[in-house]
Amino acid sequence: MPPGPHRELVDMLRDLHHRAGWPSLRRLAEQTGVSHTTVSKALSSTALPSWGTVELLVEALGGDVSRARELWVAASTPSADPETKSGAARIAGRVAELRVVRHHLTSGTGLLLVTGEAGIGKSALVGAAVASTDVFVAVGRCLHLSREMPLMPVADALRAVLEHDGRWMAAALTACPSFVAASLARLLPELDDGSGTRAPDDLWGHERLFAAVGSTLRALADERPLAVHLEDCHWADRSTLDLLTHVISKPSRPPIVATWRLDDPDVSDVHEDWLARTRRTDGVAAVDVPPLTPAETAEQLRLLLGSGADDLARRIHPRSQGLPLYTAELAAGPDAVALPRALADLLDRRIGDLDDVPWRVARTLGVAQRRMPPGVLRAATGLPPEAMDRALHQLARRRLLRSGTGDDAELAHPLFVEAVARRLVPGEAAEVHARLAETLGGAPGVEPAEVADHWLAAGRPDQEVSARIDAAIVAGARFAFPKELATWLRVLALWDAGHTTEDVDLWEVLVRAIDAAVETGEIETGHALADRAARLPLDQLSDSARAQVLHRLGSQLYEEGDGVGAEELLDQALRLLEPLPPSPELFRLLEDRTGLLLQMGRHREALDALNRSAELLEVADARFRGRHRASVLWRAILATGDAEAAVEEALRELEDDADPDPVAQLMIAANATDALLSTSAPAARVEELARAPLATAEAWELELSYPGALIRTNVCWAHLLEGNTHAARAWIEPITRSSPATNTAFAHLMLAAVELREGHAAAALRRSREADEHIRIHDQNWTLCLPWAAEIELWAGRASDTCPRLADVLARDLAGEPAAAAAPLLVALARAHAEVMDETAASSSLRRSASTSLRAQVAGASTDPFGPGVPDVATAANALLWEAELGRLEDRATVEVWVRAASQWDLLGRPHESAYCRWRAAQVALRDGRGAVATRLAVRARADARQHVPLADAATATIERAGTA
């Protein structure tokens, strides 16, 4: 199959099939409701399957339905159109336009105008339509010559017929009146038979020639299918335009297609008048060719390059604005700094030679790269109103201004900006940037970052620093944390170069920059900022300022994994602020301290800190009042142990539209979905709770923020608990397309769990370990995710690596409040020890010793992890699984204990855990010589292990062993 959308669609289906663990065609047929033959054809045939079949398959395999739809539509049009000839030229998009032109060529009458700006693809459109028909199309081209050549394109079109088949022309002339051949010989000397008979040069010679052309065209069309294509009629000589007017006055065969360039300043007024009159003529149709959409631009690039088009289209389309000619030129060197030579020359011709005043306006618009109101433009150029109006009129005549902008002025195309920049002489750009910075600095609706960029380009860092500070504050207020951090770093670079401001102190810049680094998960950058802040002369700052610095140093230290050091610094800051009047900073400090204590598992102390911050709500900043509501959710859970009630409270909080902080909504949703994981709530409910906050995250570009990533992680987690690996991948994939980072490390760990279930244990192990390297804070969230990492290690055969890692964490957690959440870790550790013992064929004494040690750890825990007071619906199932794994470790496992554990997991609707327990039970039954029982249990395990390839394979192997026993 050749490269293209159909090939990509088939590749996508095969990849999904692979990721799903190669389910059989019959199983896919059952899931989709179509025959297995239909499934086979969709995966392997060169014929394009129906969209309904593709949609069902993609859904069954857990793929991206919208992406599949895009590929199917691209594969089905236009070359797959049943009216299109096999092997016809492919063009991007233009489905409706192509159909109109093709219909006109095959069954239309009169004139069809195909119009659009230069480079829009008019000729390609007509060419594709011509290639898709069996009609002979005679082409005549109009050229931009130094003097007019009367009827040259008409002669070219008729000559094309003559050269194609002289007998066709002869038969047509025989059917025409006798004067036609003699008149036509004036256009085609080849028709002169040497008899000396030619049309007389009299007053009526022109009329006879027009009549002769019309008669010949009709006679040719009567003989066989014919159409005429006149290319670039905006350059046509006047006689050709007159002839067209004559021919189309009574629409008849053959149909004529004429392409016409719009918005070209070199097209004469005579031609523009002719176009306007002709458009109003009865029987004349028109197709206005629009720019390509971003998706169509990607399709054009796929046709040009074959692959890698989507990313390239995202880079090129904002510059090309969908003009295929521009796209093709830019694709030849997408990373080049300079424009391609041919494109640069074309743009230079469009701009032409501008006088001084119009050039001043054009260069200001080009340097500004924005739409400008008249007053702002006059101030930036220094021109009086009359001169400004004359300049704008001249630019409009050259079609250099965008239409439809009201009173504002803007260059018509982004590439005109680059063309203008090419003409600037040294020093000219800096002058324009400085004037723009001065003018825009006081204009309403202008972003401080834009003003700062102009001061930067003007080489005025002394002026840039204040604007850059304003830009950083605005970015932070809009939750654009990566942009905020980058801006504060630029402020610090200016500061180091000696460009300071009296409006802000250095400690304030560092405090805000550390905040931004924490929000974006940029730990290394935050470390450098904190190191610099720690070197400030803190004893020279006020208590309030010193407390803010210590607070941020503590926050950064926590991000680096030092919870004890972070707590000490936060406590120092608290001691400085407590004697002072209540302030937003004190409230925020107490909130951060609450979060730290919660993640360290010190829940009672966290409740005390949360209650203190609640007393200061009236002085808190609005956004941190919103974030406080996320902490209140934990207070409800810790105080009552009722996660369901706490989630209902969270849902009420999420309905509060007055919350100005999308991060607060994400935090509430992250905590609420986290709480749902400890209940028997179905994944559908977790999804429902997550959708609105994630839509908010997308709107604010916060998908990769820490709470945004946690929400998707939790939804993925919920689907994995239900055994739906396909849905889990669909939820986690959007934030794991790039390498793991601090904010997305947990998401990558969940993707690794998905990959394991898809049968890719080695890939899952690599991803899990890479993700773990980015998790600096080994806090409660990390501990909760450890069982997933342990499962990956165990299926990958790394049990010996898993034991010491889990043992270290449990030694810490069992001694304190986190012991209540330790059941999954204990189960994983018991399984790891059992597998090490099985791998090494350990002695009974070693097995008993390991089991005794594990039981002793539980007995000495501050809270019984398997006790009735643990707020996790899976506690009873984990207790049974714990006993089953210990029985395996002690080499005394029974079928009954494994089956009891499986039944408990059945009640919770967690099929993979049930399947694991029944598989283990089958192994015990097989060991005990109970082959029929082993087979029954393993068959049930394999059924429950759908979408868990290694577990299903293990169950299958047990079935095969039982069959041969």
**Residue 369: C-alpha distances to residues 206, 320, 412 (Å):** 53, 15, 11
Hunting for tokens 């900022």 — which residue is that?
A: 529
Q: Give the Cβ contact number of residue 427 at 10 Å.
A: 8
pLDDT number for residue 81: 43
Whole-angstrom distance, CA of residue 172 vs CA of residue 126: 26
Residue type, 643: A
Packing angle of the helix pair 823-840, 844-859 (nearest 10 deg): 170
- The 10s digit of each residue's pLDDT in 901-914 is 999 999 999 999 99
pLDDT mean over 133-137: 90
pLDDT number for residue 814: 93
Beta-carbon contacts of residue 355 (< 8 Å; ≥ 6 apart): 394
Average pLDDT, the chain: 89
- The 10s digit of each residue's pLDDT in 456-493 is 999 999 999 999 999 999 999 999 999 999 999 999 99
Whole-angstrom distance, CA of residue 315 vs CA of residue 80: 29
The burial of 513, by beta-carbon neighbours within 10 Å (0-12 exposed, 13-18 middle, 19 or more buried), is given as buried
pLDDT number for residue 2: 60
Packing angle of the helix pair 622-640, 603-614 (nearest 10 deg): 140
Tell me: pLDDT of 545 over 90.
Answer: yes
Alpha helices in 841-910, H assignment, sequence order: 844-859, 875-889, 895-908
Confidence bin at 405 (pLDDT 50/70/90) = confident
The yes/no answer on whether domain 95-288 falls in CATH 2.60.40 is: no
pLDDT mean over 877-901: 95
The least confident of 10-14, 68-72, 425-429, 824-828 is 68-72
pLDDT number for residue 847: 94
pLDDT mean over 183-196: 79
Sheet holding 285-288: strands in order across? 136-141, 226-231, 256-262, 111-117, 285-288
Tell me: pLDDT of 119 over 50.
Answer: yes
pLDDT number for residue 87: 43
Please identify, in words, the CATH class of the domain defined by 342-429.
Answer: mainly alpha
Reply yes or no: is the peptide bond before residue 254 cis, omega within 30 of 0: yes
- Asked whether 937 and 896 are in contact (CB, 8 A), the reply is no
- For residue 404 the two structure tokens come to 């439809």
Q: Give the Cβ contact number of residue 188 at 10 Å.
A: 17
- Asked whether 256 and 227 are in contact (CB, 8 A), the reply is yes
Report which of 317, 5, 259 is spatially closest to residue 121, judged by C-alpha positions. 259
Strand partners, 287: 114
Beta-carbon contacts of residue 424 (< 8 Å; ≥ 6 apart): 363, 367, 432
pLDDT number for residue 472: 97
Q: State percent of the chain over pLDDT 90.
A: 60
- Asked whether 282 and 71 are in contact (CB, 8 A), the reply is no
- Asked whether 588 and 664 are in contact (CB, 8 A), the reply is no
Cβ density class 162-187: b for 16+ within 10 Å, e for less: eeeeeebbeebbeebeeebbbbbbbb
Report which of 839, 934, 935 is spatially closest to residue 889, judged by C-alpha positions. 839
Whole-angstrom distance, CA of residue 516 vs CA of residue 526: 8
Residue type, 728: A
Reply yes or no: is the peptide bond before residue 153 cis, omega within 30 of 0: no
The pTM score is 0.78
- The 10s digit of each residue's pLDDT in 196-211 is 555 556 545 678 889 9
DSSP annotation string for 275-336: HHHHHTSTT-EEEEPPPPPHHHHHHHHHHHHSSSHHHHHHHHHHHHTT-HHHHHHHHHSTT-
Spell out the SS3 assignment of 456-486. Answer: HHCCCHHHHHHHHHHHHHHHHHCCCHHHHHH
Tell me: pLDDT of 764 over 60.
Answer: yes
Whole-angstrom distance, CA of residue 960 vs CA of residue 964: 6
- For residue 391 the two structure tokens come to 């300049």
Domain boundaries, the chain: 5-76, 95-288, 294-299+306-336, 342-429
Tell me: pLDDT of 658 over 90.
Answer: no
Q: Give the Cβ contact number of residue 414 at 10 Å.
A: 13
pLDDT number for residue 80: 39
Hunting for tokens 């609005």 — which residue is that?
A: 622
- For residue 369 the two structure tokens come to 């790269």
- The 10s digit of each residue's pLDDT in 778-814 is 888 899 999 999 999 999 999 999 999 999 999 999 9
Q: Give the Cβ contact number of residue 599 at 10 Å.
A: 18
- For residue 667 the two structure tokens come to 């935090």
Q: State percent of the chain over pLDDT 70.
A: 94
- The 10s digit of each residue's pLDDT in 584-622 is 999 999 999 998 988 888 888 888 888 898 899 889 888
pLDDT mean over 516-520: 95
- For residue 802 the two structure tokens come to 């898993």
DSSP annotation string for 776-841: ---SHHHHHHHHHHHHHHHHTT-HHHHHHHHHHHHHHHTTSGGGGG-HHHHHHHHHHHHHHHHHHT
- Asked whether 364 and 436 are in contact (CB, 8 A), the reply is yes
Tell me: pLDDT of 455 over 70.
Answer: yes
pLDDT number for residue 63: 83
- The 10s digit of each residue's pLDDT in 228-239 is 999 999 999 999
**Residue 556: C-alpha distances to residues 133, 528, 567 (Å):** 69, 10, 11
- The 10s digit of each residue's pLDDT in 707-751 is 999 999 999 999 999 999 999 999 999 999 999 999 999 999 999
Highest mean pLDDT among 145-149, 207-211, 531-535, 646-650: 531-535
pLDDT number for residue 196: 55
Whole-angstrom distance, CA of residue 65 vs CA of residue 59: 7
Q: Give the Cβ contact number of residue 797 at 10 Å.
A: 12
DSSP annotation string for 608-642: HHHHHHHTTGGGS-HHHHHHHHHHHHHHHHHHH--
Tell me: pLDDT of 31 over 80.
Answer: no
pLDDT number for residue 918: 97
Widest CA span in the chain: 124
pLDDT number for residue 48: 80
**Residue 812: C-alpha distances to residues 561, 563, 815 (Å):** 15, 14, 6
Whole-angstrom distance, CA of residue 243 vs CA of residue 915: 82
Whole-angstrom distance, CA of residue 335 vs CA of residue 345: 19
> What CATH number labels 5-76?
1.10.260.40
pLDDT number for residue 360: 94
Cα 401 from chain centroid (whole Å): 32
pLDDT number for residue 195: 61
Beta-carbon contacts of residue 482 (< 8 Å; ≥ 6 apart): 516, 520
The least confident of 51-60, 139-148, 264-273, 875-884 is 51-60
pLDDT number for residue 641: 63
- The 10s digit of each residue's pLDDT in 557-583 is 999 989 999 999 999 999 999 999 999
pLDDT mean over 15-29: 77
